[in-house]
Amino acid sequence: MITLNNNTAEMLRQRSQRFHDAVDFQKTDRIPNLACVVAWKILDAGYSFVEAFHDDRIMERCVRQFVERYSVDAISDPGAGSAYKLMDVFGTEGYFRAKGHRIDVTPFCLAEAQELPAYLENREEFLLRHLLPRKIPQWKSKTREDFRRALEEQAHMENYGSRITRVLQEEYGMPLLSSSQWGVPTPLIETLLHPVRGVRGLSCDLHRIPEQLDELIAAEDGKNLRAVIEQLDHGPAGHDYRFCFDLRTVIRTSCLLSRKQFERYYWRSMKPVFDACARNHKHILVMVEGSGAHIFDLFRDYPRGVITLMIEHDDPFALRRQLPNVAIAGGMPLLLLGHGTPRECVAHTKRLVQELATEGGYIFCQSNFMCYPNDARRENLLAVCDWLTNGTEV
Amino acid sequence: MENLSPADLTLEQLARQLCSSEENPEAMLKRVRLLVWQLANG
């Protein structure tokens, strides 16, 4: 139950409204400021990755310090997604491995192409019987006690998620990125890329078994994404003003798929979801990892007030010219935030606002998730946030 | 502590093994399903 005091409740509503108005190309009092921050907030608070990932109280402290220090409207990651302690129980580090101020990524290919039908037949059973034994060392020697401890860690993770949500919304009046009501619609091709087949495995499948991929995707997405569409068509109207967006999705496959492949394996599945968002006036954040320049024009026919493209490597100014109908989130390079001066950072921020937000439709954020020490300098981020909030010149 | 040899158990068998008398078996199955996903994605 939400027990906001009047000021915090009003701040929560204002911040959320600022995002929704920007997506609708409505005039806002100022540009919404979304901090794309993941692990950098840990370093900025004076802790190491390992310390924060393994202790919820430290992670909460890092989140609190970040939102108290920088005048942002929302943060992309409140630190609730870390499964480190869960993986610890099973004696493995998993996908991400944190060492001091470094995070390494271990790519996985957890199922062979010939196993895909069995995986789709019963996903959890397949994961338990085939995938986890390959991923977790000495799986067969795990005991009931190991599983009990894992379930305890799972409960801790859920508690942290609820707690940090309350902290952000009720103490700081800060909306979360998107509502869990609609979930994060994900087509099968994205799940095949991670974690099922990996980049190498999926690349082979695209050339060796293209027709089988068609069949699997049609069967799976037809069933799973239809449920999302029905929820959108029959769920509550309007926006929930505890969130910046109604729902979100992530596109990673644009880095791997040609335009033709993207239309065949991704767009055919997801276009009905985007159409349902348009039909029901829902705001969807589309987070495009890497580059998506070759697929962006697929969004050209949606009316304003539906799609927000959150971009990484793509040129935001070219995208604004190409798609005057979509809202854009991004544009602040980490190279500049990490190595430039406050004056240079504010100058670039001004250019982003002046060129991208002439009619609304722009949300300020970093062009990549801030993770590492050199991704930003504190004085640069402070200067940018000050200018966005108060118009303070440096 | 007995070894479960989880690779030899179905999801439902594993959930049953982990469920104490005070816990709801359906809720436990749901938690184990989630656990499997978290371990796969983690």
Between chain A and chain B, the number of residue pairs with CB atoms below 8 A apart is 87
DSSP-H helix ranges across chain A: 6-23, 40-44, 49-53, 56-69, 84-89, 116-121, 123-126, 132-135, 144-166, 188-191, 198-208, 210-234, 259-262, 268-279, 316-322, 334-339, 342-356, 378-390
**pLDDT class for B6, splitting at 50, 70, 90?**
low
CB of B11 within 8 Å of a chain A CB? The answer is yes
| Minimum Cα–Cα distance from B37: chain A residue | A124
B36 vs A84, A127, A143: nearest CB: A127
Q: Which residues of chain A have pLDDT under 50?
A: 1-3
For residue A359, the number of C-alpha atoms closer than 13 Å in the C-beta half-sphere is 11
Contacts with A90 from chain B: Cβ below 8 Å: 39
Residue B1 has pLDDT above 50, yes or no: no
Give the integer Cα–Cα distance in Å for A189 and A108: 16
| Rg of the Cα atoms in chain B | 11
What pTM, to 2 d.p., does this model score? 0.93
Q: What is the DSSP secondary structure assignment for residue A303, as one 8-state letter?
A: P
pLDDT at A1: 39
Cβ distance of A124 and B6 shorter than 8 Å: no
DSSP-H helix ranges across A90-143: 116-121, 123-126, 132-135
From residue A346, give the alpha-carbon distance in Å to each of A76, A91, A240, A335, A373. Answer: 21, 46, 32, 14, 20
pLDDT at A188: 96
Most A CBs within 10 A among B2, B24, B35, hence the mutation to make, goes to B35
Kindly report the backbone phi and psi dihedral angles of residue A77, in degrees, each rounded to the nearest multiple of 5, phi listed first. -140, 110
Q: What is the DSSP secondary structure assignment for residue A237, as one 8-state letter?
A: -
Residue B3 has pLDDT above 60, yes or no: no
Cβ distance of B11 and A131 shorter than 8 Å: no
Cβ distance of A95 and B33 shorter than 8 Å: no
Cβ distance of A132 and B2 shorter than 8 Å: no
User: A68: burial class by Cβ within 10 Å (0-12, 13-18, 19+)?
Assistant: exposed
Q: What is the DSSP secondary structure assignment for residue A103, as one 8-state letter?
A: E
Q: What residues of chain A have any CB closer than 8 angstroms to a CB in chain B?
A: 83-84, 86-87, 90, 94-95, 110, 124-125, 127-129, 131-133, 135-136, 139-145, 147-148, 150-151, 154, 157, 195
CB of B20 within 8 Å of a chain A CB? The answer is no
Q: Are residues A356 and A331 in contact, defined by beta-carbon separation less than 8 angstroms?
A: yes
